[in-house]
Structure 1
Amino acid sequence: MKLNKSFEQATYVLTMLALQEGHTPVKSQVLSSVLDVSDSYLKKILMKLSKAGLVASSASKTGGYQLAKSVEDISLKDVFFALELHADVVEFKHMAHQIYDDAAHVALVEQRVRETLEGGLNDFYARLDTLKISDLLRDDVYEEGVIDWNARAEADV
């Protein structure tokens, strides 16, 4: 399975915000600088995370992005759905009609494929829901945050 880069970026943005010292806001430029990714692309990801209620943003001189939920309450499924990577409907072009003359058989074939794909997706989403962002962090580092990403980004310049 190949996931697009936004899933990885979103996951690590959330971990960075969890690790931010004092959980103070972090600007997108700082996040993109530390992750070495495009700031404009990261802003699109942050907008989706914000729309999903995973991060909050404040536009001010000292503003930026912060977690809107506890890392114990954010799963990889939440990230996946926030980025709109999920597929809720299995659609067919009904190509089976090109192979089979029997409409009843075509319906059965499509039903079997649909049930299998939907079952697999449900299993996948359930598995994603078992891993929380907190599971990616050491227990002793995210209660108050331990890294000042702003200072780190300035040091890297």
Structure 2
Amino acid sequence: MKLNKSFEQATYVITMLALQEEHKPVKSHVLSQVLQVSDSYLKKILMKLAKAGLIRSSASKLGGYQLAKSVDEISLKDIFFALELHSDIIEFKHIAHHIYSDTRHVRDGEEKVKMTLSKGLSAFFDQLDTLKISELLHPEAYQGGAIDWNKEAERLSEVKK
């Protein structure tokens, strides 16, 4: 299975916000600099995470992004669904209808494939829901926040020079 890069980036964003010192807001440009991704691309991910209620944003001088939920409540499934990666996974082009003349048999076959894929995806989503973000972090690190991402972004800028 190929993991979508936005899923990986969104998961790291959630962990970074959880680890932010004193859980202060973090600007998108800081997150993108640390993740070494395009700020405009990351903003699209951040908007989806905010729309799903996983993070919130505040537009002010001291604003930025913060978690809207506890990491004990956020699962990989929540991130997957926030990014809308689950929509239109099962989509047939109905190619068989152009190849075979027995349309009833083709339709029945497609339905069997669709049901099998649906059951497999349901099991996949159930499994994603079992891993909470808190399980990826040291409890003492996320409870009060252990990293100032602004300083980390500055350090990375210095290293690049």
**TM-score grouping bracket, smaller chain normalisation:** over 0.9
User: Given the alignment of the two structures, is residue 20 of structure 1 paired with residue 20 of structure 2, yes or no?
Assistant: yes
Aligned length: 157
User: Given the alignment of the two structures, is residue 150 of structure 1 paired with residue 150 of structure 2, yes or no?
Assistant: yes
Alignment-mate amino acid for residue 5 of structure 2: K
Partner of 1:79: 79
Offset at 1:151?
1.7
Alignment of 1:36-51 (within 5 A): 36-51=36-51
Q: Secondary structure at the match of 2:139?
A: coil
Offset at 1:88?
5.0
Q: TM-score, normalised by structure 1?
A: 0.93
Q: Distance in 1 between matches of 2:156 and 2:109?
A: 57
Q: Secondary structure at the match of 2:142?
A: coil
Unaligned runs of 5+ in 2: none
Alignment of 1:53-72 (within 5 A): 53-72=53-72
Q: Secondary structure at the match of 2:65?
A: strand
Q: Distance in 1 between matches of 2:34 and 2:92?
A: 43
Partner of 2:11: 11
Alignment of 1:61-140 (within 5 A): 61-87=61-87, 90-140=90-140
Unaligned runs of 5+ in 1: none
Q: TM-score, normalised by structure 2?
A: 0.90
Offset at 1:36?
1.2
Alignment-mate amino acid for residue 71 of structure 2: V
Q: RMSD between aligned alpha carbons?
A: 1.5
